[in-house]
Amino acid sequence: MSSDSQIKLVFLGTGGSYPSPQRNVSSTALKINGDVLLFDCGEGTQRQLMYSSLSFMAVNKIFITHLHGDHFLGLPGLLMSMNMNDREEPVEVYGPQNTAKVLKDIITKGYFRPAFPVQITELNPGATLDFDSYKVKTIKAAHNVPTISYSFKEKDRKGRFDREKALELGVPEGPLFSKLHRRESVEVDDKIITPEKIVGPPRRGKKVVYTGDTKPSLDIIEEARGADVIIHEGTLDPSLSSAALEHGHSSVDMAARVAKKAGVRKLFIDHISPRYKDTEKLEKKARDIFENSEIPKDLSEYLI
Protein backbone atom coordinates (compact mmCIF):
# COMPACT_ATOMS: atom_id res chain seq x y z
CA MET A 1 0.00 0.00 0.00
CA SER A 2 1.47 3.34 -0.96
CA SER A 3 2.13 5.61 1.99
CA ASP A 4 -0.04 8.42 0.65
CA SER A 5 -3.13 6.34 1.24
CA GLN A 6 -2.42 5.69 4.91
CA ILE A 7 -4.79 7.14 7.41
CA LYS A 8 -3.23 8.56 10.56
CA LEU A 9 -5.09 8.94 13.82
CA VAL A 10 -3.70 11.33 16.43
CA PHE A 11 -5.24 11.18 19.89
CA LEU A 12 -5.11 14.81 20.96
CA GLY A 13 -7.30 14.57 24.03
CA THR A 14 -8.36 11.28 25.61
CA GLY A 15 -9.71 12.57 28.92
CA GLY A 16 -13.34 12.87 29.90
CA SER A 17 -15.35 15.74 31.39
CA TYR A 18 -12.42 17.89 32.45
CA PRO A 19 -8.69 17.79 31.81
CA SER A 20 -6.02 16.32 34.04
CA PRO A 21 -2.26 16.71 33.87
CA GLN A 22 -2.19 13.38 31.98
CA ARG A 23 -5.08 13.82 29.55
CA ASN A 24 -6.62 16.78 27.80
CA VAL A 25 -10.33 16.88 26.96
CA SER A 26 -11.81 15.36 23.82
CA SER A 27 -10.28 15.63 20.39
CA THR A 28 -9.02 13.10 17.87
CA ALA A 29 -7.48 14.02 14.54
CA LEU A 30 -7.71 11.90 11.40
CA LYS A 31 -5.33 12.68 8.56
CA ILE A 32 -6.05 11.39 5.09
CA ASN A 33 -4.02 12.74 2.18
CA GLY A 34 -4.16 16.53 2.50
CA ASP A 35 -7.16 16.62 4.84
CA VAL A 36 -7.03 16.83 8.61
CA LEU A 37 -10.35 16.10 10.28
CA LEU A 38 -10.92 16.81 13.97
CA PHE A 39 -13.49 14.85 15.88
CA ASP A 40 -14.46 17.10 18.79
CA CYS A 41 -12.39 20.08 19.82
CA GLY A 42 -12.20 20.51 23.58
CA GLU A 43 -10.41 23.40 25.28
CA GLY A 44 -6.68 23.29 24.61
CA THR A 45 -6.92 21.28 21.38
CA GLN A 46 -4.93 23.87 19.42
CA ARG A 47 -2.02 23.49 21.81
CA GLN A 48 -2.24 19.70 21.67
CA LEU A 49 -1.98 20.03 17.89
CA MET A 50 1.16 22.12 18.40
CA TYR A 51 2.69 19.32 20.43
CA SER A 52 1.71 16.72 17.80
CA SER A 53 3.06 15.78 14.37
CA LEU A 54 0.20 17.70 12.74
CA SER A 55 -0.06 21.42 12.00
CA PHE A 56 -3.06 23.21 13.52
CA MET A 57 -3.21 25.14 10.25
CA ALA A 58 -3.87 21.91 8.33
CA VAL A 59 -7.21 21.21 10.03
CA ASN A 60 -9.98 21.79 7.52
CA LYS A 61 -12.97 19.88 8.88
CA ILE A 62 -14.17 19.79 12.48
CA PHE A 63 -16.87 17.39 13.61
CA ILE A 64 -18.46 18.21 16.97
CA THR A 65 -20.45 15.43 18.64
CA HIS A 66 -22.35 17.59 21.14
CA LEU A 67 -22.32 20.80 23.11
CA HIS A 68 -20.80 19.76 26.40
CA GLY A 69 -17.88 22.10 27.00
CA ASP A 70 -15.18 19.45 26.97
CA HIS A 71 -16.08 18.70 23.35
CA PHE A 72 -16.27 22.14 21.71
CA LEU A 73 -14.67 24.90 23.81
CA GLY A 74 -11.41 24.65 21.88
CA LEU A 75 -13.09 25.81 18.68
CA PRO A 76 -12.83 29.62 19.05
CA GLY A 77 -9.17 29.61 20.08
CA LEU A 78 -8.17 27.30 17.24
CA LEU A 79 -9.93 29.47 14.67
CA MET A 80 -8.43 32.66 16.16
CA SER A 81 -4.94 31.21 15.95
CA MET A 82 -5.55 30.21 12.33
CA ASN A 83 -6.68 33.77 11.70
CA MET A 84 -3.56 35.26 13.28
CA ASN A 85 -1.53 33.01 11.01
CA ASP A 86 -3.22 34.51 7.94
CA ARG A 87 -5.36 31.56 7.04
CA GLU A 88 -7.43 32.01 3.92
CA GLU A 89 -8.70 28.47 3.29
CA PRO A 90 -12.18 27.73 4.63
CA VAL A 91 -12.88 25.55 7.66
CA GLU A 92 -15.96 23.38 7.76
CA VAL A 93 -17.56 22.83 11.15
CA TYR A 94 -20.22 20.19 11.67
CA GLY A 95 -22.42 19.62 14.70
CA PRO A 96 -25.71 18.01 15.64
CA GLN A 97 -29.12 19.54 15.05
CA ASN A 98 -29.76 22.93 16.68
CA THR A 99 -26.13 23.72 17.36
CA ALA A 100 -25.21 26.08 14.52
CA LYS A 101 -26.34 29.14 16.45
CA VAL A 102 -24.25 28.33 19.52
CA LEU A 103 -21.24 27.32 17.44
CA LYS A 104 -21.46 30.46 15.35
CA ASP A 105 -21.87 32.54 18.46
CA ILE A 106 -18.91 31.12 20.33
CA ILE A 107 -16.52 31.65 17.44
CA THR A 108 -17.41 35.34 17.28
CA LYS A 109 -17.19 36.15 20.97
CA GLY A 110 -15.44 39.30 22.08
CA TYR A 111 -13.88 41.14 19.17
CA PHE A 112 -13.05 38.17 16.97
CA ARG A 113 -14.45 37.63 13.49
CA PRO A 114 -12.60 35.08 11.35
CA ALA A 115 -11.31 36.57 8.10
CA PHE A 116 -11.53 33.20 6.35
CA PRO A 117 -14.78 31.34 5.62
CA VAL A 118 -16.09 29.18 8.46
CA GLN A 119 -19.01 27.11 7.27
CA ILE A 120 -21.16 25.67 10.04
CA THR A 121 -23.50 22.82 9.17
CA GLU A 122 -26.01 21.01 11.36
CA LEU A 123 -26.38 17.30 10.73
CA ASN A 124 -29.22 15.01 11.64
CA PRO A 125 -28.46 11.45 12.68
CA GLY A 126 -28.16 9.28 9.58
CA ALA A 127 -26.89 12.09 7.35
CA THR A 128 -24.02 11.30 4.98
CA LEU A 129 -21.43 13.78 3.78
CA ASP A 130 -19.75 12.80 0.54
CA PHE A 131 -16.20 14.11 0.16
CA ASP A 132 -13.63 13.39 -2.52
CA SER A 133 -12.09 10.22 -1.24
CA TYR A 134 -14.26 9.44 1.78
CA LYS A 135 -17.70 9.77 3.31
CA VAL A 136 -18.69 10.76 6.82
CA LYS A 137 -21.97 9.45 8.18
CA THR A 138 -23.63 10.48 11.41
CA ILE A 139 -25.14 8.09 13.93
CA LYS A 140 -27.56 8.90 16.72
CA ALA A 141 -25.61 8.48 19.97
CA ALA A 142 -27.22 7.65 23.33
CA HIS A 143 -26.09 10.53 25.53
CA ASN A 144 -28.09 12.81 27.83
CA VAL A 145 -28.08 15.71 25.34
CA PRO A 146 -28.42 15.58 21.52
CA THR A 147 -25.25 13.89 20.34
CA ILE A 148 -24.10 12.38 17.08
CA SER A 149 -21.34 9.88 16.53
CA TYR A 150 -19.37 9.95 13.30
CA SER A 151 -18.52 7.11 10.94
CA PHE A 152 -15.66 7.86 8.57
CA LYS A 153 -15.44 5.62 5.51
CA GLU A 154 -12.72 5.89 2.93
CA LYS A 155 -14.03 5.09 -0.55
CA ASP A 156 -12.92 1.81 -2.04
CA ARG A 157 -10.09 2.34 -4.44
CA LYS A 158 -9.10 0.63 -7.67
CA GLY A 159 -6.55 -2.15 -7.45
CA ARG A 160 -2.85 -1.41 -7.60
CA PHE A 161 -1.69 -0.87 -11.22
CA ASP A 162 1.50 -2.70 -12.17
CA ARG A 163 2.96 -0.24 -14.61
CA GLU A 164 6.11 -2.25 -15.34
CA LYS A 165 4.11 -5.32 -16.14
CA ALA A 166 1.84 -3.36 -18.46
CA LEU A 167 4.80 -1.98 -20.41
CA GLU A 168 6.39 -5.43 -20.50
CA LEU A 169 3.22 -6.82 -22.09
CA GLY A 170 3.48 -4.12 -24.75
CA VAL A 171 0.70 -1.80 -23.57
CA PRO A 172 1.63 1.77 -24.49
CA GLU A 173 1.26 4.40 -21.79
CA GLY A 174 -1.93 6.44 -22.20
CA PRO A 175 -5.65 5.73 -22.43
CA LEU A 176 -5.14 1.96 -22.46
CA PHE A 177 -3.58 2.16 -19.02
CA SER A 178 -6.73 3.80 -17.66
CA LYS A 179 -8.92 1.25 -19.40
CA LEU A 180 -7.01 -1.63 -17.83
CA HIS A 181 -7.12 0.11 -14.44
CA ARG A 182 -10.92 0.20 -14.81
CA ARG A 183 -10.66 -3.59 -15.16
CA GLU A 184 -11.44 -3.66 -18.89
CA SER A 185 -9.47 -5.77 -21.34
CA VAL A 186 -7.54 -4.02 -24.10
CA GLU A 187 -6.25 -5.10 -27.50
CA VAL A 188 -2.63 -4.49 -28.42
CA ASP A 189 -1.24 -5.76 -31.74
CA ASP A 190 -4.18 -8.16 -32.14
CA LYS A 191 -3.50 -9.57 -28.71
CA ILE A 192 -6.12 -9.35 -25.93
CA ILE A 193 -4.65 -8.27 -22.63
CA THR A 194 -6.83 -8.80 -19.59
CA PRO A 195 -6.54 -6.67 -16.44
CA GLU A 196 -5.98 -9.62 -14.05
CA LYS A 197 -2.26 -9.71 -14.89
CA ILE A 198 -1.77 -5.99 -14.34
CA VAL A 199 -4.32 -4.71 -11.81
CA GLY A 200 -4.51 -5.97 -8.23
CA PRO A 201 -7.75 -6.55 -6.36
CA PRO A 202 -9.81 -3.46 -5.46
CA ARG A 203 -8.66 -1.94 -2.19
CA ARG A 204 -11.29 -1.72 0.47
CA GLY A 205 -11.59 1.75 2.03
CA LYS A 206 -10.82 2.02 5.73
CA LYS A 207 -13.54 2.69 8.24
CA VAL A 208 -13.22 4.55 11.53
CA VAL A 209 -16.07 5.20 13.96
CA TYR A 210 -15.78 7.95 16.59
CA THR A 211 -18.54 7.84 19.15
CA GLY A 212 -18.14 10.86 21.41
CA ASP A 213 -20.12 10.55 24.64
CA THR A 214 -22.62 7.72 24.58
CA LYS A 215 -24.06 4.75 26.35
CA PRO A 216 -23.66 1.48 24.46
CA SER A 217 -25.85 1.82 21.40
CA LEU A 218 -27.21 -0.67 18.86
CA ASP A 219 -27.13 2.03 16.20
CA ILE A 220 -23.40 2.45 16.77
CA ILE A 221 -22.79 -1.32 16.76
CA GLU A 222 -24.72 -1.61 13.49
CA GLU A 223 -22.77 1.18 11.82
CA ALA A 224 -19.42 0.02 13.18
CA ARG A 225 -19.69 -3.51 11.76
CA GLY A 226 -16.36 -4.53 10.31
CA ALA A 227 -14.75 -1.14 10.99
CA ASP A 228 -10.99 -0.98 11.12
CA VAL A 229 -11.13 1.18 14.22
CA ILE A 230 -13.77 2.26 16.68
CA ILE A 231 -12.92 5.06 19.09
CA HIS A 232 -15.48 4.52 21.82
CA GLU A 233 -15.78 6.42 25.05
CA GLY A 234 -15.25 4.53 28.29
CA THR A 235 -15.45 7.07 31.07
CA LEU A 236 -15.49 4.77 34.09
CA ASP A 237 -14.38 1.38 35.33
CA PRO A 238 -16.79 -1.60 35.36
CA SER A 239 -17.64 -1.16 39.06
CA LEU A 240 -19.17 2.22 38.17
CA SER A 241 -21.12 1.11 35.11
CA SER A 242 -24.49 2.11 36.59
CA ALA A 243 -23.18 5.59 37.31
CA ALA A 244 -21.81 5.72 33.77
CA LEU A 245 -25.19 4.84 32.25
CA GLU A 246 -26.98 7.28 34.52
CA HIS A 247 -24.94 10.12 33.03
CA GLY A 248 -25.20 8.89 29.46
CA HIS A 249 -21.73 7.33 29.45
CA SER A 250 -20.13 3.92 29.05
CA SER A 251 -17.70 2.04 31.24
CA VAL A 252 -14.64 0.51 29.59
CA ASP A 253 -16.14 -3.00 29.59
CA MET A 254 -19.20 -1.68 27.78
CA ALA A 255 -16.97 -0.12 25.13
CA ALA A 256 -15.23 -3.49 24.74
CA ARG A 257 -18.53 -5.30 24.32
CA VAL A 258 -19.60 -2.84 21.62
CA ALA A 259 -16.31 -3.47 19.79
CA LYS A 260 -16.75 -7.22 20.09
CA LYS A 261 -20.35 -7.21 18.88
CA ALA A 262 -19.48 -4.97 15.96
CA GLY A 263 -16.54 -7.17 15.02
CA VAL A 264 -14.14 -4.28 14.57
CA ARG A 265 -10.40 -4.79 14.25
CA LYS A 266 -9.27 -2.36 16.90
CA LEU A 267 -10.85 -0.49 19.80
CA PHE A 268 -9.48 2.71 21.26
CA ILE A 269 -11.16 3.82 24.47
CA ASP A 270 -11.15 7.53 25.23
CA HIS A 271 -12.99 10.03 27.50
CA ILE A 272 -11.24 8.47 30.50
CA SER A 273 -12.34 10.10 33.75
CA PRO A 274 -9.64 12.24 35.38
CA ARG A 275 -10.03 10.11 38.51
CA TYR A 276 -7.86 7.40 36.91
CA LYS A 277 -4.16 8.22 37.02
CA ASP A 278 -3.10 4.74 35.95
CA THR A 279 -5.19 3.10 33.25
CA GLU A 280 -3.45 -0.26 33.05
CA LYS A 281 -6.17 -2.02 35.03
CA LEU A 282 -8.89 -0.33 33.00
CA GLU A 283 -7.25 -1.49 29.80
CA LYS A 284 -7.02 -5.04 31.13
CA LYS A 285 -10.75 -5.04 31.95
CA ALA A 286 -11.46 -4.11 28.34
CA ARG A 287 -9.01 -6.69 26.95
CA ASP A 288 -10.66 -9.44 28.95
CA ILE A 289 -13.68 -8.83 26.74
CA PHE A 290 -12.11 -7.65 23.49
CA GLU A 291 -8.45 -8.47 23.05
CA ASN A 292 -7.56 -5.66 20.67
CA SER A 293 -8.51 -2.87 23.09
CA GLU A 294 -6.27 0.05 23.90
CA ILE A 295 -6.49 3.18 26.01
CA PRO A 296 -4.33 5.56 24.01
CA LYS A 297 -2.17 8.18 25.63
CA ASP A 298 -2.56 11.79 24.58
CA LEU A 299 -0.56 12.56 21.43
CA SER A 300 -0.10 8.90 20.53
CA GLU A 301 -0.66 8.00 16.89
CA TYR A 302 -2.01 5.04 14.96
CA LEU A 303 -1.67 4.25 11.29
CA ILE A 304 -4.40 2.39 9.47
Catalytic residue list? 70
In whole angstroms, how close is the CB of 235 to a copy of itself at the nearest point?
12
Q: Which window, 11-19, 172-180, 248-256, 291-299, contacts a copy of itself (CB under 8 A)?
A: 11-19
Q: How far apart are CA 295 and CA 282, in angstroms?
A: 8
Binders of a copy of itself among 46-105, rule CB under 8 A?
A: 46-47, 50-51, 67-70, 72-74, 76-77, 80-81, 84-85, 102, 105
111 binds a copy of itself, rule: CB under 8 A: yes
In whole angstroms, how close is the CB of 132 to a copy of itself at the nearest point?
30
Residue 230, Cβ density class (10 Å: 0-12 exposed, 13-18 middle, ≥19 buried): buried
CA angle 271, 55, 211 (to 5 degrees): 25
Residue 241 backbone dihedrals phi, psi, to 5 degrees: -65, -35
Residue type, 225: R
SS3 content of the chain, % helix, strand, coil (to 5): 30, 30, 45
Q: How far apart are CA 264 and CA 117, in angstroms?
A: 37
Among 100, 106, 127, 169, the residue binding a copy of itself under the rule CB under 8 A is 106
Convert residues 139-178 into a mask of x (bound to a copy of itself by CB under 8 A) and - (unbound): ------x---------------------------------
Binding residues (CB under 8 A) for a copy of itself: these are 17-21, 24-25, 43-44, 46-47, 50-51, 67-70, 72-74, 76-77, 80-81, 84-85, 102, 105-106, 109-112, 145
